[in-house]
Amino acid sequence: MSSVERIICYSAKGMPGQRLEKVGLMKDCGMHGDYHGTGGDRQITLISQKAKDWMESQETKGLCFAKFHENIVIQDIILDDLSQQARLKIGEVVLELSPIRKKCFPELCELDQSRSECLLVQEVRFAKVITGGDIAVGMEIVVCGG
């Protein structure tokens, strides 16, 4: 079963994230209390647990390892396999994946310069909130039109 593994909210740029058990997502805006929650195509940042585990296992740290801030860690979904604009249903919440993907900075990234593959480009997706509501850690995620 695919599920919400972790929820992290960033109240201000440069501040550490706060792990939450439950949070509200607002239609066309994003996560309640998160500084990214201002609309657009990057309202919510998703990452797979596979990519999080990979990041922790790497000896060479990529540029984005410290700069990247996810909102939701997802268990048992390969985000790279989902189509552009696939939808994820978490309880009553519906998220639509953005066609915009995480970009790489090869000229600045030690990981890229060592010719190592970076899972962040594949396993990070941005989403917008189509239907708002509350989500919690452990809730099932259903892929719709993926």
CATH code of the domain containing 91 = 2.40.33.20
In the chain, what's the furthest Cα-to-Cα distance?
43
* Owning domain of residue 139: 3-144
Phi, psi (5° rounding) for residue 123?
A: -110, 20
Confidence tier at 9 by pLDDT (50, 70, 90): very high
Contact 55, 97 (CB under 8 A): no
How many domains would you assign to the chain? Answer: 1
Going through 2-145 in order, the beta strands assigned E by DSSP cover 3-9, 18-20, 22-26, 30-31, 44-48, 72-75, 87-90, 93-101, 124-131, 133-136, 141-144
Query: Is 0.85 surpassed by the pTM of this model?
Result: yes
- Distance of alpha carbon 81 from alpha carbon 28, whole angstroms: 24
42: its two tokens: 């990057």
Confidence tier at 105 by pLDDT (50, 70, 90): low
Residue 14 is predicted with a pLDDT of: 83
Confidence tier at 146 by pLDDT (50, 70, 90): low
In the chain, helix, strand, coil percent, each to 5? 15, 40, 45
Amino acid at position 36, single letter? H
pLDDT in tens, 55-82: 888 877 776 677 778 999 999 999 989 9
pLDDT in tens, 14-62: 889 999 999 999 999 999 999 988 888 889 999 999 999 988 888 777 7
- Distance of alpha carbon 61 from alpha carbon 46, whole angstroms: 20
